[in-house]
Amino acid sequence: MSNEATPSVQPAAAAAGNIASYIDHTLLKPEASEADVLKVCAEAAEYGFKSVCVNPVWVKTVKKALKGSGVLTCSVVGFPLGATPTDVKTFEARGAVLDGADEVDMVINIAAARADDKGALTEDIASVAEAVHASGAILKVIIETALLSDDQKVLACEAAVAAGADFVKTSTGFNGGGATAEDVALMRRAVGPALGVKASGGVRSLADAQAMIAAGATRIGASSGIAIVKGEQGSSAY
């Protein structure tokens, strides 16, 4: 497990001037162009965001664009539905890290969570974790809170812990709902202090981000990162 889970900035100090270090600057729209991706990379380097999070097809582009910037490259796996066989998710994750991803955000088998099948969840996550960790990368596990009951959210978090994940993450931003402070707090209680908690989906303002951090988030996924840092209101759904 990586020590990346907990940033050096403490939640009480999460003001506009340093909140950038919490943010995964995100572009996951399927229609995004290379120019769009390069623009996001330039913004991340300028503002000092933690990472740029993109679909796997753009990992090589992002890695090259961010070279020397200190900003990490993040990719998604089994995105956005999670309804992909484990071996396919594992293959996709291995490819992403070989292409240069420092971090991978995978979507769980949501049906397994809704069926209270902790064993299936753990096996799915553990296989991807093994592939990601073999290259020294970080695994974040998206549990898609909008589709789960509180008990199912806890079950998914417990499976992520058992499987050796580094983070749990609220949402894809593509399946309805998004991050809430209540869900972040629930997830923090479920995983304890060792894992990171990433709030994503609908975090559009500095106040939103600060509320998530106060609830226990150690990372924020947002396409409104610039608005957040500037203390403005973003309009993106993610």
Residues forming the active site:
105, 169, 198
Joined tokens for residue 196: 């990171």
Alpha-carbon distance 27 to 53, whole Å? 6
CA angle 189, 185, 72 (to 5 degrees): 95
Alpha-carbon distance 167 to 126, whole Å? 13
Sign of CA dihedral 93, 183, 166, 62: positive
The amino acid at residue 230 is K
Answer for the pair 174, 202: CB distance below 8 angstroms, yes or no: no
DSSP track, 47-69: HT-SEEEE-GGGHHHHHHHHTTS
Side-chain half-sphere exposure of 197, counting CA atoms within 13 A: 32
